[in-house]
Amino acid sequence: MFAGLTVALVTPFRDGHVDEAALRKLVDFHVDAGTECVSPCGTTGESPTLSHKEHEQVIAIVCEQAAGRIRVMAGTGSNSTAEAIRLTSRAQAAGADGALLVAPYYNKPMQDGFFEHYRAVAEAVDLPLVLYNIPGRTAKNVEPDTICRLGEIPNIVAVKESTGSMDQASQILNGSDLTILSGDDSLTLPLLALGGSGVVSVVGNIVPGDVGQLLAAWREGNVSESQRWHHKLFPLCRDMLGLATNPIPVKAALRLLGRDTGEVRLPLTPLAAAQQESLARTLKAYGLSPKG
């Protein structure tokens, strides 16, 4: 159900608060752009700096504004199993179509701990769950064998694969029926070639239509066209996201393109002037029109 384009939504902030009007406008933008699903409160949504109340607020606003026009994959992961259960239950009550659960971070569970964590959430809710494996942020990999075991749980339906390892993705595809979604824009096409089904995209905040074109070309069997879109998107992904930690560059890009989503929250900091100039050149080279 989550094949295709999911956009990892930024969270608009204004004067230290969630900007509800801007958040609703983002949802409408993606409905109009043909995005198939939006994912609030993930890494791109600065979930670590959202209070519990804000986390629930953002998911509720997105679900309300989506109103069935676009799917919602709510970010509800935590390194506390009890908190992950609570957030996922609240997301289900708000009307989310599914939940994206990042692997427990910082406390570095053993593989049995990962399995029991996700099983506990799955047993507590009646909602499709997407595993999110990103060891570069969580400090520990959820191994393919563990993911395949989790895939036997009926409501665990997919994995957002952000390890960068084609071998790991291949092992999961070989050993389970899970849907594989790319968690790295520049690896979307390689993962599709292995048998993946879509992407949870950061660059889709800016050019959702172009990411959608890559996916559509692949679905239609037009390999050369999907390659063309990959090579068009690749410099934008590389040069924008290489400037600073996500979502610093994408929020700066949205501002430059006249779609300001406000500041990033500490400990994230804005792009320096030289980086902003570099970002403007990258956007212009892609064919976009930065305003400052």
For residues 215 and 199, the answer to whether their CB atoms sit within 8 Å is yes
d(CA 209, CA 263): 25
Catalytic residue among 118, 160, 251, 286: 160
Largest CA distance in the chain: 51
pLDDT tens digits along 106-134:
999 999 999 999 999 999 999 999 999 99
Whole-number pLDDT of residue 94: 98
CA distances from 69 to 33, 34, 40, 142 (A): 12, 10, 15, 33
Give the architecture (CATH level 2) of 4-220.
Answer: Alpha-Beta Barrel (3.20)
For residues 49 and 10, the answer to whether their CB atoms sit within 8 Å is no
Alpha-carbon Rg for the chain in angstroms = 18
Spans of all domains in the chain: 4-220
b vs e for 62-97, b when ≥16 Cβ sit within 10 Å of the residue's Cβ? Answer: bbebbeeebbbbbbbbbbebeebbbbbbbbbebbbb
Q: For 81, phi and psi rounded to 5 degrees?
A: -60, -40
What does the chain come to in residues?
292
d(CA 225, CA 102): 33
Whole-number pLDDT of residue 1: 87
Tokens (6 digits) for 72: 């919602």
Whole-number pLDDT of residue 292: 57
Whole-number pLDDT of residue 127: 97
For residues 23 and 11, the answer to whether their CB atoms sit within 8 Å is yes
Cis check: omega of the bond before 249, within 30 degrees of 0: no
For residues 75 and 105, the answer to whether their CB atoms sit within 8 Å is no
d(CA 105, CA 214): 32
pTM: 0.96
254 CB-side CA count, 13 A = 27
d(CA 161, CA 170): 11
Per-residue pLDDT of the chain (292 residues; tens, 9 = 90+): 899 999 999 999 999 999 999 999 999 999 999 999 999 999 999 999 999 999 999 999 999 999 999 999 999 999 999 999 999 999 999 999 999 999 999 999 999 999 999 999 999 999 999 999 999 999 999 999 999 999 999 999 999 999 999 999 999 999 999 999 999 999 999 999 999 999 999 999 999 999 999 999 999 999 999 999 999 999 999 999 999 999 999 999 999 999 999 999 999 999 999 999 999 999 999 999 987 5
For residues 221 and 227, the answer to whether their CB atoms sit within 8 Å is no
- Assess whether 160 carries a catalytic annotation: yes
Catalytic residue among 132, 140, 251, 286: 132
d(CA 200, CA 9): 10
Whole-number pLDDT of residue 99: 98
